[in-house]
Amino acid sequence: MKLTWLYRSFKTDLDLIEQELERAVSSNSELVNNASHQLLKAGGKRIRPVFVLLSAKFGEYRIDRIKNIALALELIHTASLVHDDVIDEADMRRGLPTINYLWDDRVAMYTGDYILARSLEYMTNITDPLAHKVLSRAIVELVTGEIDQIKDKYRFDQTLRDYLRRIKRKTALLIAVSCELGAIAGQTPPDIYKRLYKFGYFIGMSYQITDDILDFVSTEEELGKPAGDDLRQGNITLPALYAMRYPLVKAEIEKVNRDTGKDVMSKIIQQIIETGAIEQSHQLSRRYLDKALAVLEELPDSRAKKPLKEIANYIGKRKY
């Protein structure tokens, strides 16, 4: 099943978001304009706008208001990707060259800042101060998480708790906040938007764990980068953490550095798989997904429930 099929019931609104995104990144500067449109060309799953729209359906669904949140969150996500590519010195994203590769770091910095400013402009169409408090706290926490990720690079003695906190900030937080803000924009009562935050948080955790598993088990063609690249970059993800419970495997993992070659990495990946770490990681991802589905059950009836459940299950089963 493809995401586009899952999105079928609200395609009109998503098309509107897509058109507005084009407008949002248009600029008087030809360079910013070209760079921003290069980003949009690469597409993306638009998972955050989808969660905003669906969560708003638990309240008063007014697309003219809700679209501002959906756009703001997608733009924040996009801006963070542009800056992440500078941080990671990445050449490619979603099969297309990155802005820092096509132009340079400086242009990527300016484009990212421009897009972030645009996102805040859209947000200010929302007059509820609560929405701004929620989003601004999330942005600060998200960046703090990225700083911690750099601090934790090649730190092989980190705990499961360190990892979970990192992926919360890296991925789960923005998805959780997408759900929460969609519901706030839909003017739902607090018990609804708080539950939707939890739903998004659990989904986000499951999503990132699956992403971290795929980094070890997918092919270079599927990933657009060599398998095990996260570990090579010093990011200790869940499969590696589980596998390090075995001293011999731990000793091998601890030798990994930026220059570790593909052959060595293949052997290490094989060792990680043999410890059962992939399966254990899948189990934890599944547990988060089950928690998300349980939260969904507690929510009042809405036409958003079915698509949210379908998307949750899609996330649990995705292969790349």
Q: Is residue 127 involved in binding another protein (CB under 8 A)?
A: yes
Tell me the window of 1-9, 119-127, 165-173, 241-249 that interacts with another protein (CB under 8 A): 119-127
Among 4, 11, 15, 143, binds another protein (CB under 8 A): 143
Q: Cβ atoms within 10 A of the Cβ of 10, count?
A: 21
Q: Cβ atoms within 10 A of the Cβ of 27, count?
A: 17
Among 19, 26, 136, 283, binds another protein (CB under 8 A): 136
Please give the Cα distance from 10 to 28 (Å, whole number): 32
Minimum CB distance to another protein, residue 314 (Å): 30
Q: Is residue 187 involved in binding another protein (CB under 8 A)?
A: no
Among 18, 20, 146, 310, binds another protein (CB under 8 A): 146
Integer-rounded Cα Rg, in Å, for the chain is: 20
| Look-up of token digits 């759900």 | 179
Distance of CA 261 to CAs 99, 210, 212, 266, Å? 27, 24, 20, 9
Tell me the window of 128-136, 160-168, 215-223, 284-292 that interacts with another protein (CB under 8 A): 128-136
Length of the chain: 320
Q: Is residue 144 involved in binding another protein (CB under 8 A)?
A: yes
Q: Is residue 68 involved in binding another protein (CB under 8 A)?
A: no
Minimum CB distance to another protein, residue 253 (Å): 22
Among 11, 94, 133, 306, binds another protein (CB under 8 A): 133
Q: Residue 133 corresponds to which tokens in the numbers above?
A: 């408090």
Q: Is 201 helix (H, G, I), strand (E, B) or coil?
A: helix
Q: Is residue 114 involved in binding another protein (CB under 8 A)?
A: yes
Distance of CA 41 to CAs 34, 146, 293, Å? 10, 26, 33
C-beta closer to another protein: residue 171 or 206: 171
Q: Is residue 253 involved in binding another protein (CB under 8 A)?
A: no
Measured in degrees and rounded to the nearest 5, phi and psi for residue 277 equal -65, -30
Q: Cβ atoms within 10 A of the Cβ of 197, count?
A: 23
How crowded is the C-beta side of 7, counted as CA atoms within 13 Å?
18
Q: Is residue 26 involved in binding another protein (CB under 8 A)?
A: no
Helices (H) then strands (E): counts for the chain:
18, 2
Please give the Cα distance from 231 to 212 (Å, whole number): 10
Q: Is residue 20 involved in binding another protein (CB under 8 A)?
A: no
Tell me the window of 148-156, 220-228, 262-270, 300-308 that interacts with another protein (CB under 8 A): 148-156
Residues that bind another protein (CB under 8 A): 27-29, 31-32, 80, 83, 86-87, 89, 105-107, 109-111, 113-114, 116-118, 120-121, 123-124, 126-127, 129, 132-133, 135-137, 139-140, 142-144, 146-148, 150-151
